[in-house]
Structure 1
Amino acid sequence: MLLDRADQAISSTELQKNTRVLLDRIATGEQDRYVVIRDNRPTAVLLPTDRYESLMAELEDLRIEAVARERLATLDSTKTISHADMQARIGARG
C-alpha cells in the first residue's frame, strides 16, 4: 500500500516548492515516506536511504532464495557429490 496516512501524499508542485523541508523531514525520521502525486496519480516515492537499502537487500535475499528453491526442486541426486569429495576435487584442505 502506497499511502497509510494522508500526510504521506504530496503534489509534485509541493515537492518543487518545499524540497529542502520535505527532505529534512525524511532525513530526521519525522516522516517515513512521501508519495508524490502528479496529474492525480502516484508518480514516485521518497524514502530514507537506509529504508531503501534495507528494501533492496531484502529483495535480493528473496531472489537468491527463489533461485535456491528452484535449483533444489530440480536437483538430480545421482549427479551430486559430497562436501569432502568436492574439497578433494579442488584440492582444499580441511
Structure 2
Amino acid sequence: MKSILASCSVSISELKKNPSLLIEQSGGEPIAILNHNRPTAYLIPAETYEALLEKIEDYQLGVIVNERQHEKFSAVEVTLDEL
C-alpha cells in the first residue's frame, strides 16, 4: 500500500465537482488525489509549486557550488579596473 503524503485527500470524482474550492480549502497544503483509494496525483496551489521549484533550484545551485569548491584555488584575482 502506498503512503499518502498529504494531510488531505479526495477522490477524482470529488475533484471534478469543484477543484477551486478544494484548492482554497487546502490552505496551500497538498491534496492527495485518490483513484480506487490509491494516490494517483497531488494537487498543490501555483504559489506552493513555484516555491518548491525555487527550493529545488537553490539546492541544485548549492550542489554546483560544492562541486566547484576546489576550483577556487586556481582562480585568478582581478580588480574591476582590469576588467
Query: What's the TM-score once normalised by structure 1's chain length?
Result: 0.67
Q: Which has the larger radius of gyration?
A: 1
User: Looking at both structures, which has the greater relative contact order when contacts are Cα pairs under 8 Å and sequence separation is at least 6?
Assistant: 2
Identity of aligned residues (%): 28
Deviation, 1:47, is 1.5
Within-5 A mapping of 1:1-94: 2-3=5-6, 5=7, 8-26=8-26, 29=27, 32-73=29-70, 75=71, 77=73, 79-84=74-79, 88=82, 91=83
Structure 2: state its 5+ residue gaps: none
Structure 1 stretches of 4+ with a deviation exceeding 4 A read none
Would you say how many aligned residue pairs link Structure 1 and Structure 2? 80
Deviation, 1:67, is 0.6
Structure 1: state its 5+ residue gaps: none
Task: Report the structure, 1 or 2, having the larger helix content.
Answer: 1
Deviation, 1:76, is 6.6
Change over 3 Å in CA distance of 1:32–1:76 after alignment to 2? closer
Query: What's the TM-score once normalised by structure 2's chain length?
Result: 0.74
